[in-house]
Amino acid sequence: MAGQPGVPAQAQFMVAVPQGIAPGQALVVTSPDGQQLQVAVPLGCGPGSQFPVLYTPVARAHAQQVMAPVAPMAYMQPQQQMMGGGGINYMGFTPGQPLDPYGLLGQVGSIKITQQIQWAEVLIGFDMPNKYLISDVATGKDLFIAAERNDGLMGVVGRQVLEGSQRPFNLDIALLTGPGLEPLPFLRLERPFKCTCCCFQRPAMSIHNTLTGQPIGTTVEPFSCCHFRLGIQDPAKNDVLNINHHCCDCSLLCWGCPCGCQETDFQVKDNDRIVGHVRRQFNTAQAIGMMTGINADSDQFTVDFQDIQDPEWKASLIATAIFLDYCYFTKGGQKGRQESALGRASQNNRQVDRALGPMAGFFDNR
């Protein structure tokens, strides 16, 4: 560009791959002029090797007034639409520190999953893709964001027609890397549509490690009468973990009442041994919904890993908690529209019309 002698359009510097980092994983590196860049380790580059990173020097970027392109994962950025929620409380990473979501999961003992409120659902019953913020219970830091993909026209139609327990979805879970930085996807959940009838074509969700491209396992919902049942299987379809909870639990029947039913504990078992917990917790948005009759899908879960140490199985349990929300607690379709603000207002108007109907002739004759 004329008028900017000595400033290259692009430059490069070399980055050494730290120990414990595999090809495909992401790093945050610092360029010679102080810019923080997020890059992926190329295939074939192991620990100790080096690879070049291209960047635009600051002077050239300012001279050209370069605008950042729209990132492919921009839809993953948290919206912070949770009732009473504040800003994202990022964990924070040191520049140059490798981004390893599974290594981070290995250090976490329990996490909280908070569903974000979608105001289009609350107001008019137009069902939107689900989003969840995932934070560390011990530190209160926000670690991950989970977002259901739009999936085009068929995704929109499926969300408006089917209830939450029936609809297919594709959902990504990504590591929050910091303010202004794109989240790093590391987990993909895929639930295809199935025409389920009793024991046939039971719902199932596949879980994939997107950093390696390898499957981690599958969450299935077996047929069961009067029970909440979910099972986690490894890639070979061997049963690993399971949840089996009776639907007549008082914490579900008296959900949110002042008698103390503020939490439902879904025990996670390995055979008959309890190895973890998924706890669904009552929150302020649900209390407002109980008083007004207006639904706001705003579920909150705490996942206690307890004896589960493997990071991929921890990730699978997080995925299963989200699947549990879809199977049993997510509204959608006609029910979602009926429990929206517009739906409740329409129902109230019809009730008033029916109550005043017998009196209409009396007022007309006066």
- How many helices (H) and strands (E) the chain has is answered by 9, 17
Residue 363 CA to residue 41 CA, distance in Å, equals 79
Note the pLDDT of residue 13: 82
Name the percent of the chain lying above pLDDT 90: 35
Query: What is 215-249 written as a DSSP string?
Result: EEEEEE----SSEEEEEEE-TT--EEEEEEEETT-
Residue 329's φ and ψ, nearest 5 degrees, are -125, -10
Residue 8 scores a pLDDT above 60: no
**pLDDT digits 0-9 by tens, 83-93:** 334 578 888 77
Residue 278 CA to residue 266 CA, distance in Å, equals 5
Residue 4 scores a pLDDT above 60: no
Chain centre distance of CA 201? 25
Chain centre distance of CA 230? 18
Residue 362 scores a pLDDT above 90: no
Residue 130 CA to residue 145 CA, distance in Å, equals 11
Rounded average pLDDT over 252-257: 72
Note the pLDDT of residue 306: 95
Note the pLDDT of residue 9: 58
- 253-257, 277-281, 287-291, 355-359: which is most confident: 277-281
**pLDDT digits 0-9 by tens, 265-314:** 999 999 999 999 999 998 777 777 777 777 667 789 999 999 999 999 99
Starting at the edge strand found earlier in the chain, the sheet holding 26-30 runs: 36-40, 26-30, 98-99
Q: Indicate the SS3 state at residue 203.
A: coil
- Sorted by where each begins, the domain ranges of the chain are 11-64, 89-342
For all residues of the chain together, what is the average pLDDT? Answer: 80
Count Cα neighbours of 348 within 13 Å in the Cβ-side half-sphere: 10
For 133, residues 6+ apart whose C-beta sits below 8 A from its C-beta are 78, 82, 88, 113, 114, 116, 142, 144, 145, 146
Burial annotation 5-30 (CB, 10 A radius, 16+ → b, else e): eebeeeeeeebebeeebebebbbbbe
Number of C-beta neighbours around residue 291 at 10 A: 8
Note the pLDDT of residue 268: 97
Count Cα neighbours of 266 within 13 Å in the Cβ-side half-sphere: 27
What kind and span of H or E run contains 98?
Answer: strand 98-99
Residue 75 scores a pLDDT above 70: no
Note the pLDDT of residue 125: 76
**pLDDT digits 0-9 by tens, 229-249:** 999 999 999 999 999 998 888
Q: What top-level class would CATH report for the domain 89-342?
A: alpha beta
**pLDDT digits 0-9 by tens, 167-199:** 899 999 999 988 878 889 999 999 999 888 878
Contact 50/17 with Cβ under 8 angstroms? Answer: yes
Residue 351 CA to residue 76 CA, distance in Å, equals 42
> What predicted TM-score, i.e. pTM, was given to this entire model?
0.71
CA dihedral sign of residues 294, 172, 328, 298: negative
Name the percent of the chain lying above pLDDT 70: 80
Residue 202 scores a pLDDT above 60: yes
DSSP 8-state code for residue 93: -
